[in-house]
Amino acid sequence: MSSHPMSSNPMPTPRTRVVRESDRGVYDRATVNRILDEGFLCHVGFVVDDQPFVIPTSYGRDGDALYIHGSAASRMLRNLDKGIPVCITVTLLDGLVLARSVFNHSMNYRSVVILGTAKLVDDPKEKLAALRALSEHILPHRWDDSRQPNERELKATSVLRIPIEEFSAKVRVGPPIDDEPDYAFPTWAGVIPLTMQSGAPIRDERCQRDLPEYLRNYKRKN
């Protein structure tokens, strides 16, 4: 069971309320969790000495907490563990929306924005559980099928926890929306769906083991 139980759905704050195309704003925690669980990469935004940085990295979710990790010497983790504000985004692209006019072309997507402050995970048990959550998020069952981190690796790795408390999602689905006069324009209009799919596993030349079932049937969460 998660050590960070689900909280009730919060109301959007002035910082997370969707302003442009507000009808696409979603503040439901279950929807946000589904988007987070389907994604693989987040972009972490922060400012150091008036210089903005946006760093892509993997993540894992445990209840109402998002975990990121990396080298203890990395610029991102060395600055975030000082308690500076952070903005985390995750975006899933679901389709290209082709309208009759170039101006009304769009994309179908699902995105999440999380605002907060990252905290360094000091407790060894939580740190190990967070690393497991990161691993299982990317590839379920892999943690138990791999060598566990040793003390040297754990010492060289920092794990940060960001509470999923101040957040919003934005979702666009459906066909193109054209200006009424443009519906008579003679061009193809509609949606080109986009999905992420896994290919056939490629065996490492020094691997002697048969492909396990959890890899043979691997597919992206949705």
- For the stretch 182-195, pLDDT in tens is 999 999 999 999 99
pTM given for the model: 0.85
- For the stretch 70-87, pLDDT in tens is 988 888 888 888 888 999
The closest of 116, 130, 117 to 159, measured between CA atoms, is: 130
Superfamily covering domain 22-216? Electron Transport, Fmn-binding Protein; Chain A (2.30.110.10)
Q: How far apart, in Å, are the Cα atoms of 42 and each of 39, 192, 202?
A: 8, 24, 26
Distance CA 89, CA 76 (A): 15
Q: Which two tokens stand for residue 158?
A: 């920092």
What is the phi/psi pair of residue 87, to 5°?
-125, 125
Do residues 109 and 92 touch, judged by C-beta distance below 8 A? yes
Each of the 222 residues of the chain gets a pLDDT tens digit; together they read 344 433 445 566 665 555 455 565 678 889 999 999 999 999 999 999 999 999 999 999 999 999 999 988 888 888 888 888 999 999 999 999 999 999 999 999 999 999 999 999 999 999 999 999 999 999 999 999 999 999 999 999 999 999 999 999 999 999 999 999 999 999 999 999 999 888 999 999 999 999 999 999 888 776
